[in-house]
Chain A
Amino acid sequence: MEERLEDWSKDFYERWKPIAMGFVNEAEKCLGCGKCTGQCPAAAVTPTYNPRKIIRDLNMGNIKRVVSSIELWQCFFCGGCYAACPMDINFPFFIFMLRLAAMSEGFGWEDVKRMEGYAEEEYLPKGITVTTRERNPYILENRPEIKEIRTRAGLEPKRKVTPRALAEINMISDLSGMTAFMKKIGGVPVYDCSRCDAEIERKCKEKVRPKKVGRIRTHDRYYNYGLPGGGGD
């Protein structure tokens, strides 16, 4: 996207650091060695994703470029950059907190919306994030039901979570503002392949980017760090 002078902020990093709750440590220590980028699995498949450049932009105050980029959402969260970093910069936490900053500027909500279903439909009502539900028809046809597998292995047919535990995590969610946040994003369509029809197939293939997520307007994001296939700058 086009860069403008007023998008730069000299003191963003300083202002944002305390808000990021002490999770992020000192990006200003960055030596620019690029070890993070060299070993990065996300950079291997998305050549424009470059942790070193993101840290540089953060330090220099070129914030709009970071938060409006598609690259910010390409991180794999593998932590290899932290392991490789000679200055112990915990970059995954930077990505995590920068994504929150991007969201507050109105970017990336469509990605978060897709994940919200896991919290709303699974984590809060059942206490378990990854449930027994299978959406892949191959698995449904070729594997016994999980309760059968569990019974044969000598376990209870279904893993239980007590009502008290459920009440407690829901209370935590209410008190900490997570429930209110999820209401803001709104419900999420999760496509079930076993019930696929022409309409769902179209949506699945076209991947329409929503303009609004719940009550929030989302902005388009751009490849701000070069051409998607590699090259350019």
Chain B
Amino acid sequence: MEKGSRRSFLVFSINWATALIGGVLSLAAGIPLIGFAISPAFKKGESKWVDLGLADRLKNSRFKKVDYTFTAKDGWVKATKKRSVYVTDAGNGQWSVFSRTCSHLGCLVRWDDQKESFLCPCHGAVFDQNGIVVAGPPPRPLQKLQTKVEAGILYVKDF
């Protein structure tokens, strides 16, 4: 082998070794850091039953806005979260409870008694009384929450 080519082989090896060390260092530091940052995205969301109060108190209500609070873990705090839903007594022990979260981009819809529909204050969505999109951008109907009545108390499955 000639001297020049030996030198160039050496340079070649040094370049690769440097790149390799650089790569190992980046991975060794990068993987834990990225895992650290994105870990919350892997956490399983849990939906649970929350209590809306005595079903009797809500008897005959029609698209009544009910606010409720519940505690849930929010990172390192146990937070009191507030939500509200629209509750309708469908008779025969059946309940229809709509989430207020617009199925477009998450603003809170409001029930309008005169227009008989849910209106979204953001991009103009209109949902009918069954939560079906009548106008505006949402790609899906309004979410209907699962309900159950136990010991006279109305529960909804919080998403």
Tell me if chain B binds chain A. Answer: no
Interface residues in chain A, defined as those with a beta carbon under 8 Å from any beta carbon in chain B: none
